[in-house]
Amino acid sequence: MEISTEHHERIAKLTFASVYPHYVAKVEKKGRSKEALHQVIEWLTGFDAKKIQELIDEKVSFKEFF
């Protein structure tokens, strides 16, 4: 299955704020905590919990987030 450029662009335009609650729900469903999710995000991006919240409040896109 080949993924199109349009698909990548559509994902890049999504806001991190719109997807973040789904990340939280998924990790909690698997018995993990929101704090564990934040540890992974910080490891990947360098953003601490305060910065993550700022980016959510600013409604940055995935492209801007990553």
Question: What is the per-residue pLDDT across 3-61, written as a single tens digit (0 to 9) for each?
Answer: 889 999 999 999 999 999 999 999 999 999 999 999 999 999 999 999 999 999 999 99
List, as one string, the DSSP characters of the chain.
-PPPHHHHHHHHHSBHHHHHHHHHHHHHHTT--HHHHHHHHHHHH---HHHHHHHHHTT-BHHHH-
Answer whether 28's CB lies under 8 Å from 34's CB. Answer: yes
Whole-model pTM? Answer: 0.83
Per-position b or e across 34-44, b if 16+ CB within 10 A of its CB:
eeebbeebeee
Q: In the predicted model, is pLDDT for residue 1 greater than 70?
A: no
Q: What are the structural domain ranges in the chain?
A: 15-65
